[in-house]
Structure 1
Amino acid sequence: MNYAQLLFPDFSLILCGFLLCRYTALNRTVWQQVESLVYFFLFPVLLFQSIVRSPLNLDAASGLLMAGVLMGLAGIALSYGLPWLPWLGRRMRGREHPASVQVAFRFNSFIALAITDRLAGPQGMLLIAVLIGVCVPIFNIAAVWPMARHAQRGFLGEVLRNPLVLATASGLVANLAGFSLPVWLEPTVSRIGSASLALGLMAAGAGMELGQLARAKTLAGAVLGIRHLVLPLLAWCLARAFQLDSVQTTVLLAFSALPTASTCYVLAARMGYNGAYVAGLVTLSTLLGMVSLPFALGVLR
């Protein structure tokens, strides 16, 4: 599989947003409005549709589900604990840390679906749907918590007002209740989802300032190291521990090595944090996916 070709659309949209913001009349004033549209409407619709699209059979994938959730919780714990590392921790404190931890454990669900479809077919698609449906609400809540805590905002209030958390939680409840979108509504919702992906990545490029990464290079290396090295190795160990079959192992390893979610930038920017720094991390994670995916699926598998 050509991973560079698979990841190129995401990277090219980030680059397009960067160039438009820097060298045309479509400056930051325009892209701030785009961020609001993506955050409050387009992304929530996309997340809801992604979760209700495939029925979740939790019993059929219990081992894979446990391994995936444990891997995600480990990523959350590792990224939360970075400021308390001996010697290095003091370099990871400040406002960049709460906004950046999400990069270590969140994932790009569109790339997950594309890879799984090519590698494992319909069986793999069913398994990855279970992982996405269960993990997205957990990971979104884990992304909001450190930012709400650092800003001394009420966590429960932030969660209840966060459109991404509300969309994923309601999507999971709707899926488990057997709800599906009406056939006549699916084309409209699909087009909204496509628009959210394109505009979200372009907004990340428009907000990106690679020079911001120099403010916390140790933190950047740590969260990207967790995302693209530690989690694939942990997934390999969990696949052996839970004795997953070949298809489940493939799905788990692909899940572990994905680039981070493009919504990381939008969430950080809308909650008042350094969006430019997070946008740089999203860009680097997209590039590193060209290394971590072959490592997980070609070497570890």
Structure 2
Amino acid sequence: MNYAVLLFPDFSMILCGWLLCRYTALNRRVWEPVESLVYYFLFPVLLFHSIVKSPIQLDADASLVLGGLLMTVVGVLLTHALPWLMRWWPGTREGFSARDHAASAQVAFRFNSFIALGLAERLATQGQDGRGPLLMALLIGVCVPLVNVAAVWPMARHAGRGVLRELVRNPLIIATVSGLACNLLGLRVPDWIAPSLSRIGAASLALGLMAAGAGMQFGTLARSKALAAGVLTVRHLLLPLVALGLCITLRLDTVQAATLLLFSALPTASSAYVLAARMGYNGALVASMVTLSTALGVLSLPYALSLQRHFL
């Protein structure tokens, strides 16, 4: 599988946003309203529709669900341990701040749902078990609420806002929790409105990625090299190893193991930038990390699958 080809559409949208903002009249004043549109309307609709449209059967794949949740929890814990771990490495505290860590921590454990589903579909068309897309949708459905809560929590706390109030009002959490509830209750989107929701989802992907590119400032990333290295190491190196251990411990079958390992090595969510920017944090730093994570996915995805070939 050519992962570079699979990741190119996301990377090209980020690059397009950066070029438009930097070299045309479509500057930051144009992109700020776009960020609000994506964050408060387009992306919540996309999340809700993505979760509702695929029936979730928790009883059939309980071990996979447990593996996805445990891996996510470990990713959150590892990321929040970075300030302590950095104390042991000379020079790593330079340019490091609690606010930057709160904003960028989400990069380590959030994931790009579009790439996840694209990978699952690609594997299914290459003759592997057709359960792949459904299993990936199941992981997305159960993990999205958890990662969104984990992303909002530190930023709300460091901003001195009521954490519970921020969680309850967060549009991404509202969309994912309501989508999961509807799925488990057996409610489905009517056929006549599904095409409109699909088009809204496509718009949110393109605009969200372009907004991330428009917000990039690589000088900000250069001042936070240690933080970026730590967060991306967790995302692309350590989480696949955690997933491998869970595959062995939970005795997942071949397709379940492949799904969890691919899930563990995904590039981070493009909406991470929008969330950080809308909550008043360093969006430029997060946007730069999103771009690097997308590029690193070309390496981490084959790395994760190689772990299955060699150890399972």
Fold match (TM-score > 0.5): yes
| TM-score grouping bracket, smaller chain normalisation | over 0.9
SS in 2 for 1:183: coil
Alignment-derived partner of residue 274 in structure 2 = 266
More helix as a share of residues: 1
Contact map agreement 1:116 1:251 (CA 8 A) in 2: yes
Counterpart-to-counterpart distance in 2, 1:116 and 1:262: 19
Q: Give 2:121's aligned residue.
A: 117
Residue in 1 aligned with 2:300?
Answer: 292
1:103, 1:261 within 8 Å by CA — same for their partners in 2?
yes
Alignment partners' CA distance in 1, 2:138 and 2:303: 24
Query: Is the contact made by 1:83 and 1:93 (CA closer than 8 Å) also made in structure 2?
Result: no
In the alignment, the residues of structure 1 paired with residue 61 and residue 136 of structure 2 have an alpha-carbon distance, to the nearest angstrom, of 10
- Residue of structure 2 in register with 1:247 after alignment: 255
Q: CA deviation at 1:299?
A: 4.2
Residue in structure 2 matching 1:281, options 268, 289, 292: 289
The residue number in structure 2 matching 1:27 is: 27
8 Å CA contact 2:93–2:226 kept in 1: the answer is no
Alignment of 1:225-244 (within 5 A): 225-244=233-252
Identity %: 65
Q: Is the 8 A contact 2:257 2:308 kept in 1?
A: no
CA distance in 2, matches of 1:220, 1:300: 27
Counterpart residue number, 1:87: 88
The runs of at least 4 consecutive aligned structure 1 residues that moved more than 6 Å come to none
Contact preservation (8 Å) 2:120, 2:136: yes
Query: Where does structure 1 lack aligned partners over 5 or more consecutive residues?
Result: none
1:56–1:176: 8 Å Cα contact kept in structure 2?
yes
Q: Which residue of 2 aligns with 1:78?
A: 78
Distance 1:50 1:275 in 2: 25
CA deviations over 1:74-120 (Å, ceiling 9, x no partner): 00001111112232474543321000000000000111001111224
Kindly state the Cα deviation for residue 122 of structure 1 after the two structures are TM-superposed.
3.0
Alpha-carbon RMSD across the aligned residues, in angstroms, is 1.1
1:199 aligns to what?
207
Partner residue, 1:2: 2
Matched residues in 1 for 2:134 and 2:305: separation? 19
Report the CA distance between 1:126 and its aligned residue. Answer: 1.4
State how far apart, in whole Å, the 2-side matches of 1:298 and 1:77 are. Answer: 25
Q: Could you tell me how far 1:183 is from its partner in structure 2?
A: 0.3
Name the CA distance, whole Å, in 1 between partners of 2:99 and 2:163.
17
Distance in 1 (CA, whole Å) between partners of 2:258 and 2:307 is: 12
Tell me the CA shift for residue 148 of structure 1. Answer: 0.4
2: distance between equivalents of 1:125 and 1:10? 20
AA aligned to 2:67 is A
Quote the residue 1:65 is aligned against: 65
CA distance in 1, matches of 2:40, 2:103: 19
Q: Which residue of 2 aligns with 1:11?
A: 11
Query: Unaligned stretches of 5+ in structure 2?
Result: none
